[in-house]
Amino acid sequence: MSDSDLDGLTETEQEPVERRPYWGSKGKFLHENVGDDLIELHHARFIEGMPAIWDGFSSRYRIGYDAWDAAIVDLVNGTTTNQRREVTNYLRIRAPHLDQGDTHLVACANGVIDPWLDGYDVQDEYGHCNGFIPNTPDLNIPNVLPVTWNPQAYDNATDVALYQFSCWDNETRAVLEEILAACVYRGRELQNMAVLIGSGGNGKSVFLRMVMGLLGRENVSTIDLRDIGRRFMQAPLVGKLANVGDDIADGIIEAAPLSIVKKIVTGDAISVEEKYRAVDTFRPYASLVFSANQFPRLADYTGGMLDRIHGVHFAADFRHNPDVRVTNIWQKLDTEQSRQYLLKLALARLPNLVSRGCFTPTSYSETMREAVLNDNDSVAYWIEADGIRQSHVDGRAVSEVYSMYRSFCENAGRKPVEQRAFTMRTNKRLDTFTSKDVYLAGRQVRGFHAH
């Protein structure tokens, strides 16, 4: 095999290296030699538990076991599936395990940017920016955006589209830019998932395509919210910058996928199982972005879940409003110039977003959070709908207040929870506690009290 055939694996400007023999006497396949060359010459390694190998032709790491298999095929002609599996198993044992590089660094098509540095977006007389460096294997950056960094980038069609998607609301426009920022970031400080809410014809799908175009296909998975908890469905998240799901279907989201969602949002370790491969553990850093006509009901509506949801209102009506309708809008936005401008917007928002740890709260996001809670929790709905305050339950028997709640649920067509769950939720919402010191019909029973 000629050296030119290895351009996709060999670092640029690398000195020629005499490779080990890959076939022994009588045609024996020397899988250990292949594995050692992949480690030493092509930087085969685990980055954050993810199989990775350096592609010198494009100056980036390729991620996943398929990338290892492709590297073996490029390195050695005529290998069988079993022979590649021998090399892969050897790499699983011998390849070094390394943390990913500085998460503040964002790699793009022409280099690596540090948006935390002053002057990162200011070009000098030679066209150089402060801290803009080439991507190299030692940086251990597993994701590269397929976009050229241009600090002077601007695209009018993109600018107008973002304002139209947000109905010229500056708060919403800021959140859209923060979503872009979250999706180019490999860190785990952010504690939100974005849910774009609105009926059809308002730009949600176009915005999601803009996100995916900025990140590139290799950096995005597209698992539906309902499927994230299913077997084998976590593997596509490995090494991805974002998971983008369009149009969450109506109905309840069960607890299993929501438990995985919470771990992904906070970057906790999850188990990943692929067919015919051993189970691995890795810590995801993919930002979750979903869209829906209306937010679905959740089997888990605790504060821990709701705190992770950030609703973004898409209220425009492109379908029926000729004043804002744009013919072939995606064709106008699917350009390198547009993606360069999106990258510029994302990097400008990134440091403050990471410092805050969440998207900018808006009146809509707060209202939606309360609406989701009321929609899913009949106790919260009763308290809100009937205007229940602490003073309304203070000193009253739990059974008496619970009876009021059950009557409300019957009239509202809601399913009541058991009394114990009702007591716990009421105490949490109204800042009360219970003790057995209230008299009802001559008996001492448990009652509510204000703190």
Nearest C-alpha neighbor of 407 from the set 394, 422, 390: 422
Three-state DSSP at 53 gives strand
Q: Residue 305's domain is classified under what CATH number?
A: 3.40.50.300
Does residue 57 lie in a domain region?
A: yes
By DSSP bridging, strand 280-282 and strand 270-272 are antiparallel
CB 229 within 8 A of CB 257: yes
Cα-based angle 220, 349, 283 (whole degrees, multiple of 5):
40
339 lies in the same domain as 386: no
Residue 2 pLDDT: 39
188 lies in the same domain as 269: yes
Residue 18 pLDDT: 63
Does residue 138 lie in a domain region?
A: yes
Q: Can you read off the two tokens belonging to residue 445?
A: 């029973």
Does residue 198 lie in a domain region?
A: yes
Does residue 103 lie in a domain region?
A: no
Q: What own/partner pairs with CB < 8 Å and gap ≥ 24 does 66-74 have?
A: 68/38, 68/44, 71/9, 71/38, 71/42, 71/44, 72/34, 72/38, 74/5, 74/6, 74/8, 74/9
Rg (CA), the chain: 27
Q: How many domains does the chain have?
A: 3
Residue where a domain terminates, one of 309, 339, 369:
369
Three-state DSSP at 333 gives helix
Does residue 433 lie in a domain region?
A: yes
For residues 417 and 64, give the distance between their C-alpha atoms in angstroms, rounded to a whole number: 45
Q: Please identify which residue in the block is written with the tokens 């023999």.
A: 21
128 lies in the same domain as 64: no
361 lies in the same domain as 385: no
The length of the chain is: 451
For residues 208 and 194, give the distance between their C-alpha atoms in angstroms, rounded to a whole number: 11
Q: Can you read off the two tokens belonging to residue 249?
A: 């279907």
Domain assignment of residue 364, given as a range? 108-369
233 lies in the same domain as 340: yes
By DSSP bridging, strand 45-47 and strand 270-272 are unpaired
Residue 293 pLDDT: 87
Residue where a domain terminates, one of 73, 98, 123:
98
336 lies in the same domain as 404: no
Residue 8 pLDDT: 44
Nearest C-alpha neighbor of 63 from the set 18, 16, 107: 107
One DSSP character per residue, 54-106 reads EETTTTEEEESHHHHHHHHHHHSTT--HHHHHHHHHHHHHHSPEE----TT-E
Q: Which residues contact 316 (CB under 8 A, 6 or more apart)?
A: 164, 165, 167, 198, 202, 203, 324
19 lies in the same domain as 89: yes
311 lies in the same domain as 437: no
Does residue 393 lie in a domain region?
A: yes
Does residue 416 lie in a domain region?
A: yes
134 lies in the same domain as 115: yes
Does residue 277 lie in a domain region?
A: yes
Burial 404-443 (b: 16+ CB within 10 A, else e): ebbebbeeeebebbebeebbebbbebbebebeeebeeeee
Residue 165 pLDDT: 94
191 lies in the same domain as 250: yes
164 lies in the same domain as 84: no
24 lies in the same domain as 94: yes
CB 44 within 8 A of CB 84: no
- Along the 451 residues of the chain, how does pLDDT read in single tens digits? 334 344 444 444 444 556 789 999 888 999 999 999 999 999 999 998 889 999 988 899 998 899 999 999 999 989 999 999 999 999 999 999 999 999 999 999 999 999 999 999 998 888 788 889 999 999 999 999 999 999 999 999 999 999 999 999 999 999 999 999 999 999 989 989 999 998 878 899 999 999 999 999 999 999 888 888 777 777 788 889 999 998 787 667 777 778 888 888 888 887 777 665 666 777 889 999 999 888 777 766 666 777 888 999 999 888 766 666 666 788 889 999 999 999 999 999 999 999 999 999 999 998 888 777 777 788 988 998 999 999 999 999 999 999 999 999 999 888 899 999 999 999 999 999 999 998 888 889 999 999 8
Residue where a domain terminates, one of 98, 131, 163:
98
